[in-house]
Amino acid sequence: MKPDSKDIRPEKKSIATELEQRVSGALYMILADYTGMDMPQTNELKQSLRDKEASFNVVNNRMLNRTLDTDASALLKGQTAMIYGSGDVVEVAKIIKKFTATNQKPVVKGGFLEGKAISAAEVGELAKLPSKDVMRAQLLGTLQAPCTQLVGVMSQKVSSLVYVLDAVRSKKEQEA
């Protein structure tokens, strides 16, 4: 008998449906082993993630693997929590890295970013990047630099012309 043809209990169906909605609505999903975390630590992490529009949920490995489009069984060993959201993944990676540095938990296993699998090392690399707002500001500065330099050069040329005309006027006044 195939596993799909079994009658699934209604509560399992609702859990699976809820998990599918969470995964489908997420821009990123980071999987972590939360072994050894107590409730105060978990609540602290959840609160800091909430500020960046991310969520932390403990999931059943088998259900999550069935929900995902790709086989993630290599990541789904031991106790698994998924950290997901649709905000800035860089900010979330920074929060996880800072929290892990302080508490040595949770241990990042890997994850998915815009449908592509990423390793734990790549999540760490994300934490090193500047946030979206900083990157936008850098891009804007880069785009504005040529215009600003052009304005500076043009105003310098006009100033040079004014100085030359002023020098000619002064010379003519001295001659007269």
Domain that holds residue 146: 131-176
pLDDT tens-place string over residues 69-123? 777 788 888 899 999 998 888 999 999 999 999 988 899 999 998 888 889 899 8
One domain, residues 35 and 51: yes
pLDDT tens-place string over residues 40-69? 999 999 999 998 889 999 988 888 888 887
Share of the chain above pLDDT 70, in %: 97
How many domains does one find in the chain?
Answer: 2
One domain, residues 16 and 89: yes
Pseudo-torsion of CA 48, 120, 132, 95, nearest 10°? Answer: 20
Q: How far is CA 31 from CA 5, 58, 142, 174, 175, in A?
A: 29, 10, 36, 83, 85
Residue 84 CA to residue 71 CA, distance in Å, equals 18
One domain, residues 27 and 105: yes
Residue at token pair 């602290």: 44
Cα-flanking dihedrals φ and ψ of residue 16, to 5°? -65, -40
pLDDT at 1: 29
Question: Which of 110, 100, 108 lies closest to 72, judged by CA?
Answer: 110
Q: Give the predicted TM-score (pTM) of the model.
A: 0.71
One domain, residues 103 and 166: no
**Average pLDDT rounded to a whole number, residues 163-171:** 86
SS in 3 state form for 122-172? Answer: HHHHHHHCCCHHHHHHHHHHHHHHHHHHHHHHHHHHHHHHHHHHHHHHHHH
One domain, residues 125 and 135: no
Question: Which of 63, 76, 59 lies closest to 117, judged by CA?
Answer: 76
